[in-house]
Structure 1
């Protein structure tokens, strides 16, 4: 890996590599509130362990986290439940679309991993149950997610975009089907609609590349924020999250992403991608046009150029 990267030149090269592809892919128009996002938008932030931030493009424009939120809810659930979480959700790649119900039927309602929709609903269900029973946390699961993001990013402006949350709920029939199907196996428990409301709202959190890269920095340093020194997660659980991201962070596009980029990551249909370079830092990129698997096309191109320039890869 490069010891002292020339960040201005690297970021310029990344922008040069990505620019011819601006507007590529398809915006997630099945969520009406996301259909009007300009597909030519692009931003990237690299956050380093020494506190440096290197940014290009629309790095301060908020976008919808969507499935990237699953990483942070997984971190919260592991803090509370530890390995008991894995009794109701697996750790294997799915090889299927993010909202597929096919495997659930053959595997008795246990989702393959916590980063597909069904698995994330189970994770959220754990959090909703815990915070519903714990009067010390009246703001609930979404409130805890926001508190984690705001604290780690050092920015209280991170919030739920309620218009996107409503749009998610109004078009969420498939997710409701997944939740009710898993409930039939006892995998989702308690108030299903309350769990789904929390799930839709966590996906609708609006965040910028700069905020996201900073908030996730603990994932690159064994669960400890290298700037504040605060331990967010145990090193063991942090490594588990990175492993799940490596295998399953991009649905049935995860293998190709690992082949091209070689780092743990998580994409969202809002066009964001979060990547973790263990021991170095984090990268957040955003461009709304998606490939068929729901990963940002321009974001992946930009990340491929970034790792080529830096040499960052867990396979080196």
Structure 2
């Protein structure tokens, strides 16, 4: 059995010494200020043992990783009716593409591109005030991670609202096709704020454990989602979790994963581990450059690809 602690520490040391770090997200001003030299990794195995390295306790903006948890909540609220509002296919386009949305008459390709996540947020908002919906999302994250300190970074949320013109265009376009039910400003406000949740690698890996345990929360024994739904969320993460870089991630890492432009990646080794990495520099598709390399190294050394060793 490989020594997970040693492997994780070695990966953190390797990544710390690399100079090819990608570029931090500059279109959100608050994210442009993040130190590109940061790197953290946490792996929580099936027995609950935690292996960590680097800046594993430093909070960062999870951004689109929050879409995994909002998808889980929305499916719990409306079940498979959600798929009338959003598709399940890879996009093959940038995460904020307007062209694809126009071509497909306002129905987003999947729940992890921006348009799809805005539609999912609108489902959660229905029947609530924005503050109530946002509170429900944050409490869900706190429950999953067993950590009530998890909160929204208000400076990042404000920065996104000031500069989120493309997302406003996507939401307005979907509204014209009846995909968005609530006032656009309300839906966007909740969307920007849940993307601005700040978490450390440890907190994020803790929150993702239910997807590695067939939908069960290993800390409480409670069912978060049925096993079939956990499997299907993992499937969408594998095919759509890295935007137009999803195929490359599946090819190189071989695990379901979801990235965010804050530089984080949540990856799931079903039945084995929940993994979080963070390195703020992004590749051309908006995914963490060193995060993907670190995960590729980890899966090779541990033999954790879902496609076999």
TM-score range with shorter-chain normalisation? over 0.9
- The reply on whether 1:266 has 2:258 as its aligned counterpart is yes
Output aligned runs, 1:1-316, within 5 Å. 4-22=1-19, 24-132=21-129, 139-316=131-308
Q: Is the 8 A contact 1:90 1:112 kept in 2?
A: yes
Tell me, what secondary structure is at the counterpart of 2:112?
Answer: coil
1:230 CA displacement = 1.4
| Ranges of 4+ aligned residues in structure 1 off by more than 3 Å | none
Shift of residue 139, structure 1, vs aligned partner: 4.9
Q: Partner of 2:17: helix, strand, or coil?
A: helix
CA distance in 2, matches of 1:125, 1:175: 13
How many angstroms does 1:22 deviate by? 4.9
Alpha-carbon distance in 2 for matches of 1:128, 1:297: 33
Secondary structure, in 3 states, of the residue corresponding to 1:177? helix
d(CA) in 2 for partners of 1:233 and 1:82?
Answer: 11
* Deviates further, 183-192 or 84-93: 183-192
The question of whether the paired residues in 1 share the 8 Å contact of 2:5 and 2:52 is answered with no
> What's the CA shift string for 1:11-52, capped at 9, x where partnerless?
133124323325610000110011110000000000122111
TM-score where L is the length of structure 1? 0.95
**Which deviates more, 7-16 or 101-110?**
7-16
> Which residue does the alignment assign to 1:135?
none
1:248-297: CA deviations, max 9, x gaps? Answer: 00000000000000000000000000000000111000010000101111
Q: Distance in 1 between matches of 2:13 and 2:252?
A: 18
Contact conserved, 1:160 with 1:205, CA < 8 A, in 2? yes
Structure 2's unaligned 5+ residue stretches are: none
Aligned-residue RMSD, C-alpha: 1.2
> How far apart, in 2, do the equivalents of 1:142 and 1:60 lie?
24
Q: Distance in 1 between matches of 2:182 and 2:160?
A: 21
Q: C-alpha deviations, 1:162-217, integer Å up to 9, x for none?
A: 00000000000000000000111101112110000000000000000000000110
CA distance in 1 between counterparts of 2:38 and 2:16 reads: 10
Q: Using a 3 Å threshold, how does the CA distance of structure 1 residues 119 and 215 change in structure 2: closer, same or farther?
A: same
Distance (whole Å) between structure 1 residues aligned to residue 9 and residue 57 of structure 2? 17
Aligned length: 308
